[in-house]
Amino acid sequence: MNEELMAQQGAGLAVFPLIIGLAVAVLVIAAMWKVFTKAGKPGWAAIVPIYNIVVMLEIAGKPVWWLVLYFIPVANLVATIVVNVGIARSFGKSVGFGLGLAFVSVIFVPILGFGSATYGGSPGQAPGEIAPAM
């Protein structure tokens, strides 16, 4: 009977990390949703695989064909860094903030989404010009 009690306690402890992980995932999804809406894109795009990358490319001012880079080993790491730096610059943030988005997104995406940063257009886009919606 003692082993049965220990097994039940172990199962309870295994649920705790799952709950924490789910809460963090919901926070990051909500923050990314907010980032997309700040940039004038549909928030629901944050939860659609592949399409969310297309939207991030648009926000970063990169061509859509860069999506192919995400399927090439090593090139996907470089593309992720460059796109996140582009997203940071679109919101008036520094290159360091973009690196934070790339490497510690669980912290930096909520800062960008729920913070006071405003979308200023994609890098290379004329001031006041609205990026075309897809």
Residue 43 lies in a domain: yes
Structural domain range at position 47: 2-114
pLDDT higher than 50, residue 133: no
Distance, CA of 39 to CA of 93 (rounded, Å): 14
pLDDT at 14: 75
Residue 101 lies in a domain: yes
Residue 39 lies in a domain: yes
60-98 burial by CB neighbour count: b if 16+ within 10 A, else e?
bbbeeebbebeeeeeeeeebbbbbbbbbbbbbebeeebb
Distance, CA of 119 to CA of 121 (rounded, Å): 6
Residue 20 lies in a domain: yes
Number of domains present in the structure of the chain:
1
Distance, CA of 47 to CA of 28 (rounded, Å): 11
Residue 124 lies in a domain: no
Distance, CA of 32 to CA of 114 (rounded, Å): 9
3-class state of residue 102 by DSSP: helix
pLDDT higher than 60, residue 130: no
pLDDT at 13: 72
Residues 60-78 have pLDDT tens digits of: 999 999 999 999 999 999 9
Residue 123 lies in a domain: no
Work out the average pLDDT over 108-130: 80
pLDDT at 56: 97
pLDDT interval class at 8 (50, 70, 90): low
Residue 88 lies in a domain: yes
